[in-house]
């Protein structure tokens, strides 16, 4: 065979071999290339409805404005155009108001990434919605340049107890007065034995209290508040269901207690210094935004109704009490 023909044959073999290597490389790369799967986008309505409860993390709020109905809501729920909210800790739980979702507070419309809320009291509010991660959304109110952050949960995994005990100072504010119903025989005689009513005020700095020595059974409307001061609720290490309560009277010594919740209308105070145990029952339940008139329920009064219309973080002037110096 001629040398020229042999050279051409060798060149063709080399070319075929190169094509073979290239083909194998392409097939190998295709087989090992990671398959990227992108879930189809969901609508805003689907996103809002994907969780039973949206926890309003008030501590994450960004901006200096306020959207009233978000300021008082612990959770929101979006169900078929109806907006539900848990505004109270009384009745808060998986079997509580609205089967755990709270009360009906208005309607909403969701489109693109815009949420329009038609609140029963606050009226129309519009928000731009941003999905932060798979279970967190940002509600940005362009009218006050403020963002609220909501975290999504299913009822079966939501820790109602944690939210309740983490916000126990708000629970104390949900009654017009707390009336002493029991004093233990065990314990030394002390000045707090004479106190019959306590009141924890909403608004202002969220830490004002009043006390009264009026006769047991006095209607909340008719209580004369003898003393004022500020109160503080603290944690107890290792026990999430036990708290401390300090009553700092304006012109007298502090009173220190261990605070336990018996149920959502009754609390127990253990007075550490004397060893005395007291029980108090809530009188005049204040339901935040019961309806358009913000009417209180139970045995509460028109005065309580006015308190119910306050926003929890609203600043109010402290009123002087003419009898604050008479505690003996």
Domain ranges for the chain: 1-37, 44-166, 168-326
| 191 phi and psi angles, rounded to 5 deg | -60, -30
Flag whether pLDDT at 320 surpasses 60.
no
Please give the pLDDT value at position 304: 36
Of all residues in the chain, what percent carry a pLDDT higher than 70? 74
Rounded mean pLDDT of 238-255?
92
pLDDT tens-place string over residues 10-69: 555 555 555 555 555 555 555 544 544 344 577 899 999 999 999 999 989 999 999 999
Question: Is the Cβ–Cβ distance between 244 and 233 less than 8 Å?
Answer: yes
Rounded mean pLDDT of 161-190?
95
Is the CATH code 3.40.50.970 the one for domain 44-166?
no
Residue 299 structure tokens: 């045995």
- In sequence order, what DSSP letters do the residues of 142-206 get, joined into one string? TTTTEEEEEEEE-GGG--HHHHHHHTHHHHHTTEEEEEEEEE-SSS---GGGG--EEEE--STTS
Rounded mean pLDDT of 113-129?
96
Rounded mean pLDDT of 302-315?
35
Question: Is the Cβ–Cβ distance between 296 and 308 less than 8 Å?
Answer: yes
Flag whether pLDDT at 295 surpasses 90.
no
Please give the pLDDT value at position 250: 87
315 falls in which pLDDT band (50, 70, 90)?
very low
Q: What span, in angstroms and rounded, lies between the C-alpha atoms of 51 and 78?
A: 9
Which contacts qualify for 217-223: CB closer than 8 Å, 24 or more apart? 219/299, 219/301, 220/176, 220/177, 220/283, 220/284, 220/299, 220/300, 220/301, 220/303, 220/304, 221/301, 221/302, 221/303, 223/177, 223/197, 223/199
Rounded mean pLDDT of 289-297?
43
Report the chain's terminal Cα–Cα distance, integer Å.
129
206 falls in which pLDDT band (50, 70, 90)?
low
| 113-141 core/surface letters (b: 16 or more CB in 10 A; e: else) | eebebebbeeeebebebeeeeeebbbbbb
Q: What span, in angstroms and rounded, lies between the C-alpha atoms of 180 and 16?
A: 98
Please give the pLDDT value at position 251: 78
Flag whether pLDDT at 184 surpasses 70.
yes
Flag whether pLDDT at 177 surpasses 60.
yes
Please state whether beta strands 75-79 and 175-183 pair in parallel, antiparallel, or not at all (unpaired).
Answer: unpaired
252 falls in which pLDDT band (50, 70, 90)?
confident
How far is Cα of residue 21 from the mean position of the Cα atoms in its chain?
Answer: 64
pLDDT tens-place string over residues 148-171: 999 999 999 999 999 999 999 999
289 falls in which pLDDT band (50, 70, 90)?
low
Q: 143 pairs with which residues across the strands?
A: none
Please give the pLDDT value at position 190: 95
* This prediction's pTM: 0.75
Mean per-residue pLDDT of the chain: 82
Give yes or no on whether 44-166 and 168-326 have one common fold: yes
Q: What span, in angstroms and rounded, lies between the C-alpha atoms of 199 and 218?
A: 14
Q: Which fold has domain 168-326?
A: Lipocalin (2.40.128)
3-state secondary structure of 107: strand
Please state whether beta strands 146-153 and 53-56 pair in parallel, antiparallel, or not at all (unpaired).
Answer: antiparallel
Rounded mean pLDDT of 120-134?
94
Please give the pLDDT value at position 314: 33
Flag whether pLDDT at 326 surpasses 70.
no
Q: What is the 3-state secondary structure (H, E, C) of 76-130?
A: EEEECCEEEEECCCCCCCCCCHHHHCCEEEEEEEEECCEEEEEECCCEEEEEEEE
Question: Is the Cβ–Cβ distance between 111 and 123 less than 8 Å?
Answer: no
pLDDT tens-place string over residues 54-90: 999 998 999 999 999 999 999 999 999 999 999 999 9
């Amino acid at each position: 065979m001629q040398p020229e023909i042999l050279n051409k044959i060798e060149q063709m073999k080399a070319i075929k071999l190169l094509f073979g290597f290239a083909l194998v490389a392409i097939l190998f790369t295709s087989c090992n290339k990671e398959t990227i799967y992108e879930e189809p986008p969901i609508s805003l309505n689907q996103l809002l409805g994907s969780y039973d409860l949206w926890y309003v993390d008030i501590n994450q709020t960004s901006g200096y404005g306020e959207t009233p109905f978000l300021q008082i809501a612990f959770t929101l729920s979006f169900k078929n155009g109806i907006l539900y909210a848990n505004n109270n800790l009384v009745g808060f739980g998986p079997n509580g108001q609205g089967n755990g979702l709270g009360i009906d507070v208005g309607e909403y419309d969701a489109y693109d990434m815009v949420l329009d809320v038609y609140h029963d009291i606050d009226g129309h509010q519009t928000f731009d919605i941003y999905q932060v991660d798979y279970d967190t959304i940002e509600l940005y109110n362009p009218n006050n340049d403020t963002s609220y952050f909501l975290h999504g949960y299913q009822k079966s995994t939501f820790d109602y107890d944690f939210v309740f005990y983490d916000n126990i100072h708000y629970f104390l504010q949900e009654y017009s007065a707390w009336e002493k119903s029991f004093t233990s025989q065990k314990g030394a005689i002390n000045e707090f034995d004479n106190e019959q009513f306590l009141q924890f005020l909403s608004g202002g700095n969220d830490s004002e209290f009043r006390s009264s020595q009026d006769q047991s059974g006095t209607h909340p409307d008719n209580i004369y508040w003898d003393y004022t001061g500020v109160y503080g609720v603290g944690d107890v290490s290792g026990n999430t269901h036990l708290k401390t309560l300090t009553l700092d009277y304006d012109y007298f010594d502090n009173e220190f207690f261990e605070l336990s919740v018996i149920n959502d209308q009754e609390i127990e105070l253990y007075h550490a210094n004397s060893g005395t145990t007291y029980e108090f029952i809530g009188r005049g339940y204040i339901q935040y935004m019961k309806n358009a008139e913000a009417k209180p329920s139970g045995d509460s009064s028109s005065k309580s109704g006015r308190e119910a219309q306050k926003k929890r973080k609203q600043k109010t002037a402290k009123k002087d009490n003419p009898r604050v110096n008479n505690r003996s």
